[in-house]
């Protein structure tokens, strides 16, 4: 949670009103029950990045959360790369949606994804 707290500070986000903060806390509190795995990146004993995810199927792993302090240049790339190195049992890694954020979209496209799924909204008539 230290990385998430520092990330909130770095981005000027009030963690008390930031819903994802509580979702990540719930995931960490129930790590074993939710069968989640993750890693933390340290620089000089300071946690500067974290990632956490879960298996979707025997061939696909889903990265649910990823936070990194941008004050440490390349921290997102390093945490992503290091986590992927540990997921050798999986053929695919689902990086989830980019939420329409161009920087995130560029980053995710730089990994040359095999497939992009598009999100739709359905409404009952």
- What is the rounded distance in angstroms from the CA atom of residue 22 to the CA atom of residue 102? 25
Q: Is the pLDDT assigned to residue 1 strictly greater than 90?
A: yes
| Mean of pLDDT values over 57-74 | 92
Strand-pair partners of 58: none
pLDDT tens figures, 76-121: 889 988 999 999 999 988 776 655 556 656 666 565 666 666 777 7
Average pLDDT, rounded, for the chain? 86
């Amino acid at each position: 949670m230290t990385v998430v707290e520092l990330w909130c500070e770095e981005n000027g986000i009030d963690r008390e009103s930031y819903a994802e903060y509580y979702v990540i806390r719930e995931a960490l509190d129930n790590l074993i029950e939710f069968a989640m795995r993750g890693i933390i990146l340290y620089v000089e004993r300071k946690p500067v990045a974290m990632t956490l995810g879960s298996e979707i199927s025997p061939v696909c792993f889903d990265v649910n959360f990823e936070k990194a302090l941008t004050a440490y240049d390349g921290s997102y790339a390093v945490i992503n790369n290091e986590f992927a190195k540990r997921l050798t049992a999986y053929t695919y890694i689902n990086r989830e949606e980019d939420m329409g954020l161009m920087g995130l979209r560029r980053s995710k496209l730089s990994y040359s994804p095999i497939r992009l799924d598009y999100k739709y909204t359905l409404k009952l008539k």
